[in-house]
Amino acid sequence: MIAKVFAVAAAALALAGPASACAHPKTSLSYLEGQIMCPTCHTTLDMSEAPAAQQIKAQIAKRISECWTAKRIEDELVGNFGQGILAAPPHKGFDLLAWWLPLGGVLGGALLLAVGVWRWSRTREPEPPEPDEESDPETERRLDELLARLD
């Protein structure tokens, strides 16, 4: 029990240390863990317990405690590991294609679908008119006869 209390106190102190260094952190570890990849296991940090991922998490926690912004931390990691460390490609240059191509594909598909539906509705043949039973004189005559017999 005493050991548990000491462990909790030690953890609280460890957390309190960085917090005291930066009163108003500009980002959070949980946010960046979803934005940064583990270089050895190719998943985001929040999905990995690999040693390399643990090391990067520690580095991020250290930078957060120094009041670094998410952008600055990401830039440092890109400088260290290359662009592949980012879970999502940046919104500039050639990497923009990764953002716009799927959107273009969806819009193109929707456009094709709309054109297809429009064409289908235009070329559909009109249904043949239903036979007008009332205008058949023979049937009317026979019906009158039948009714007259019933009277």
Partner 1 sequence: MTRTLKLTGQGLALAAVAGLLGLLVWRLTHQAHPPKIGGPAPNFALRRVDGTGKLDLASLRGKPVVINFWASWCVPCKGEAKMLEQAWQQYRSQGVVFVGVDYHDVASDARTFLAHHGITYPTVQDGSGMIGDRYGLTGVPETYFVDRKGRLVGTHIIGTITNQASAFQRGIRAALQQ
Q: Which residues bind partner 1 (CB under 8 A)?
A: 39-40, 51-52, 54-56, 59, 80-82, 84, 108, 112, 115, 119
CB of 87 to partner 1, least distance (A): 15
And the tokens for 27? 């980002």
**CB of 40 vs partner 1, minimal distance in Å:** 6
Q: Show Cβ contacts of residue 22 under 8 Å, excluding neighbours closer than 6 positions.
A: 64, 65, 66, 67
**Range 109-118 burial, b when 16+ CB lie within 10 A, else e:** eeeeeeeeee
Nearer to partner 1, 84 or 102 (CB): 84
Of 12 and 110, which has the nearer Cβ to partner 1? 110
Instruction: In angstroms, give the least distance from the CB of 150 to partner 1.
Output: 59
- Reduce the DSSP state of residue 86 to 3 states and report it: strand
